Chains A and B, each alone.
Chain A
Amino acid sequence: QKEVEQNSGPLSVPEGAIASLNCTYSDRGSQSFFWYRQYSGKSPELIMFIYSNGDKEDGRFTAQLNKASQYVSLLIRDSQPSDSATYLCAVTTGFQKLVFGTGTRLLVSP
């Protein structure tokens, strides 16, 4: 069973702080890695994707991938209350489907 593991949280950070979200995956054949944000009752919204080892930055968001450790992370700088949501890690292998983790709930307090 190919798994994606995330700490369910909640992860609580004050406004302006850095939030660090982590994800591990079991399938070494995983090729693409995604972070989606999901507000309660809403659909997943793509935040970041990364294919290669290292860091990828987009505005306040940085995705980090370490394939040797089978580890993906998402850093959110200058966290805002509007960032409060569940963050879903997802991976794909050579096949097309996304395999999701259970998500980490992030709470940013003003």
Chain B
Amino acid sequence: EPEVTQTPSHQVTQMGQEVILRCVPISNHLYFYWYRQILGQKVEFLVSFYNNEISEKSEIFDDQFSVERPDGSNFTLKIRSTKLEDSAMYFCASKLALDIQYFGAGTRLSVL
């Protein structure tokens, strides 16, 4: 069964460092998303991406964040200068055209 793949599963970084979280969406999917979940809190939308551009972003997705689809398969989330409060699970999701979004296993980001 096709699945969304995220790497790494756990990323540890120092405050102020740049991190890139990687996702390989399901191959024929057209819409791509990043969500995050701070420990003990709800899943929050960060950004949606369609047709090689951002279609919507939340207030959380400030200038420190960027997304890219550098080739036909990868979808990345970059955080330029990490803060302690960026520590969270980051989930990538994708969908074809119907509303059903499929989630990857997530990357746990720990900012020290």
Contacts and interface: CB of A to CB of B under 8 A. Distances in A.
A88 B43 contact: yes
Given A44-B43, A98-B43, A100-B43, 11 more contacts: A43-B103, A43-B104, A44-B103, A45-B103, A51-B99, A96-B31, A96-B48, A97-B58, A98-B101, A102-B41, A103-B42
Contacts of A90: 43
A105 B9 CA distance: 24
Nearest to B108: A41
A interface, size bucket = 20 to 34
Interface string A63-100: 00000000000000000000000001010100111111
A42 B43 CA distance: 12
A100 B43 CA distance: 6
A101 B103 contact: no
A53 to B, nearest CB: 17
Contact of A92 (B89, B91, B99, B102): B99
B18 interface: no
10 contacts: A31-B99, A42-B105, A42-B106, A46-B101, A46-B102, A51-B99, A90-B43, A96-B50, A98-B43, A98-B101
A31 to B, nearest CB: 8
B interface, size bucket = 20 to 34
B102 A97 contact: no
Chain A CB within 10 A, most for which of B33, B43, B106: B43
Interface string B60-100: 00000000000000000000000000000101010000011
A102 B48 CA distance: 21
Interface string A27-64: 00001101010000011111001010000000000000
